[in-house]
Structure 1
Amino acid sequence: MTRNYTIDFFKCLAIFGVVCIHTHTFRDTAVPFGNGEMWAFIIDTIARFSVPFFFAASGYLFAMKLERTDDTFAYFKRYTGKLIGLLAAWFAFYWIYDFIKMLTASTGTMNEQKAELTTYFQDTLQWRTLLDGISYTQFQLWFMFALIFSIIIIYTAYRLRILKLTLLAGLVLNLIGLLGQSYGPLFHVTMEETTRNGIYFGLFYTALGACFGLYEKQIIEKARAIRTRTVGMIIVAGFALQLLERYILHYGLDLPQGEYLISTIPLTVSLLLFTLKARHIGKHRYVSMVAKNVVGIYLIHTLWRSIFDQALDQSNITQTFAWGLLYAPILYAVSLLSYVGLQYTKGKLSDPTVPRQAKTRTALRPSNSLIK
């Protein structure tokens, strides 16, 4: 089976979508056409495909690797070990960063500062941190917690040959999780805990991708009669349906904006199917380089967002259309360059004898893996 470059292409779009979500593009910005809030809603909603696709792509690549590996347990340990190592390192970094920020930026009384730090410690030490992360600068790390949880379940299901059953269970949990996201108020259901985690969110989409990876040949054979152009049109319709669903829920029924939707499911399925039918869309050196560093951009971009937001807190530039247009691309570019630079520096420190040119070629080597 040939390399799937289209996964790289969608990963590049998805990470930019994540940055747009976290920068609230145009939300508080004066725009020359329409109003900023509506444009922010449209961009945020369209970008909601990003994290489900990351989960699905991770499951797909993980299952593909399992099928081609003799010692699956050794690969599973190595893969999860890298995930856990990344999570531990960045969680520790952000924990120290936020701790220092609280000590230096707090303007309250001594008792108020003490209460703030106590809450910070309590939030960190809760058992739910292992599932949901904590909501400070490192809020995005919930994805890493969820992915580790999902991969452990997927590998167990793979070894027990119950991956299809796991997919079905994940779908049921995903639909239940919508009661803690987009649909709870509609049915007068309140779920105290967040359902944006590995149980309700990550497991289903990771299992979906794993099934595409495990049964790729069968899926391609059954979908042979479907034209690639038709799948592309279905994807466009999927984005439109996702936008319509969220618009009706929020503006029509006056419900809070949820983070995932029912329509995200068929949209993700159609995206995965498209990557199987058109495998060479992302065959470009820049796309491969960005795709290789997608996890790095995801991990580091909230640090830069925090720095930018603090630096420009009192500036009127954040209300301008130019800033609304450029903030996400700037944050994306700075995150990419800083993470590539970090990896280069790490490589030089670990092996300073390696020539610069050789290290650069390694950094740009194409890779489908979300975690190297």
Structure 2
Amino acid sequence: MTSAKTHQYPAVDVMKFVCAFLVIVVHTYPFYEVWPDLGFVTSNILGRIVIPFFFISAGYFMQIGRCHKDENYFRSYIKRLIKLYLIWSVIYIPFGMHKLGSMMEISGALWLAALPIALFNIGTYFHLWYMSALIFAMVFCHLFLKKFSMKALLILGGVLFLFGLIETYHGLITNEILLQSVNTYFLLMFTTRNGLFFGVLFVALGMALADQNRVEAIRHPFAKAAAAFGLLVVEAFTVRHFHWALDYNMYLMTVPFTLYWFAGLLRTRLDWKLNFKALRESSTVIYFCHAMFLELGEILLGSLYLTNGAVRFCFVFPLTMIMTAIIRKWLPFLK
């Protein structure tokens, strides 16, 4: 693992950029009107590997930093994440107010009460949940490892993730008492797509890979990832066919797929003449800023935007890339 401190990981940077692009596809769902199955594959299968990949990547590089840098590394890392999250949360308050205001009437007092809840759970706009989840999962794993082993963390993360799958496999619950308990949870918390049930396992897997250079111990990672992806496709279409899911945020097979795919990318060296740092930075900015154009498209284009996925994508994607370039050049505090 000593060499990990100085290595660059260009394949990971490329994948982060691809994932950022997939986020736009997920949120604009450009294919559903013309080819529903392709829309399902892009938005509810390919798109669902994005967040696990971001989680496992963050866990891996954070663990490397904890092992090779000073003791304050973790604290400064989390402070930076919190600062970035709060800045973007403030930016998205008017967008979030417009989105909620278009769906329901909310008083001023309720807005004030809802703000802290949003910050600690789903974010001031829907895509910001990832940042609060990442911060929670990072802090949770860091504190847990102060008292317990990595093995215990992985087991706990697995148990939490299995509980989180009730959102995907909700239709399989037949026990009336259990069903009422689960529905009460969703009434209060909306989703299991959060740092506790979704983030902890993937962050822990990333940290475990970084420990003692376990990446090298995984043989044929891409072949294993391909097999896991095939099973993921089967899982997703099975869940859809039987109408089990409340939402398609979490799949069981994203765990082995993300683990093996990420391990393979860590070992992949690319000689491409690309600015990989720019790709890495752009992926972060794309994730943060694309959602404002989702909302602006609805305001400016109305029903044309709402009913046509191609229009949504063609509106959001170029404006997001322009804004990303502006932020990278002139607003570095936003990246």
What fraction of aligned residue pairs are identical, expressed as a percent? Answer: 22
Pick aligned residue for 1:17 from 18, 22, 26: 22
Change beyond 3 A, Cα 1:121–1:7: same
- Which 5+ residue runs of structure 1 have no aligned equivalent? 351-370
Alignment of 1:173-184 (within 5 A): 173-179=160-166, 181-184=167-170
| Aligned-residue offset at 1:293 | 2.3
Change (3 A) 1:285 1:173: same
Cα distance in 1 for partners of 2:91, 2:57 equals 27
Q: Aligned equivalents of 2:277 and 2:27: distance in 1?
A: 24
The match for 2:130 among 130, 134, 143 is: 143
Change (3 A) 1:145 1:269: same
Aligned residue identity for 2:324: Y
Residue 249 of structure 1 corresponds to which residue in structure 2?
239
Question: 2:14, 2:280 within 8 Å by CA — same for their partners in 1?
Answer: yes
Query: CA offsets per residue over residues 118-160 of structure 1, 9 Å max, x none?
Result: 554443243xx344224x6x11111110111111122223444
Report the equivalent of 1:66: 66
Give the 3 Å change call, closer, same or farther, for CA 294–102 of structure 1 in structure 2: closer
CA distance in 1, matches of 2:301, 2:228: 37
Deviation (angstroms), 1:26:
1.5
Q: Secondary structure at the match of 2:303?
A: coil
Q: Partner letter of residue 184 of structure 1?
A: H
CA contact (8 A) 1:154 1:163 kept: no
Matches within 5 A, 1:1-372: 1=3, 2-27=7-32, 29=33, 31=34, 36-44=35-43, 45-69=45-69, 71-72=70-71, 74-99=72-97, 101=98, 113=105, 115=106, 117=108, 119-126=110-117, 129-134=118-123, 138-160=125-147, 162-179=149-166, 181-188=167-174, 189=179, 190=182, 191-192=185-186, 193=189, 194-216=191-213, 218-220=214-216, 222-223=217-218, 226-227=219-220, 231-278=221-268, 280-281=269-270, 283-315=272-304, 319=308, 324=310, 327-328=312-313, 331-346=316-331
Residues of 1 paired with 2:307 and 2:143: CA distance? 48
Residue 102 of structure 1 and its aligned partner are, at CA, apart by 7.2
Matched pairs, number: 318
Higher helix share: 2
Whichever residue aligns with residue 282 of structure 2, its letter is N
Question: Which residue does the alignment assign to 1:353?
Answer: none
Unaligned runs of 5+ in 2: none
Contact 1:282 1:288 in 2 (8 A): no
TM-score by length of 2: 0.84
Structure exhibiting the larger radius of gyration computed from Cα positions? 1
Task: Kindly provide the amino acid, as one letter, of the partner of residue 54 in structure 2.
Answer: F
TM-score (norm 1): 0.77
The alpha-carbon deviation at position 318 of structure 1 amounts to 5.0
How far residue 286 of structure 1 moved from its aligned partner, in angstroms, is 4.6
| Amino acid in the other structure paired with 1:232 | F
Counterpart CA distance in 2 for 1:316 and 1:329 is 10
Distance 1:61 1:125, change over 3 A: closer
What amino acid is the match of 2:325? Answer: V
Amino acid at match of 2:168: S
Q: Distance in 2 between matches of 1:266 and 1:167?
A: 13
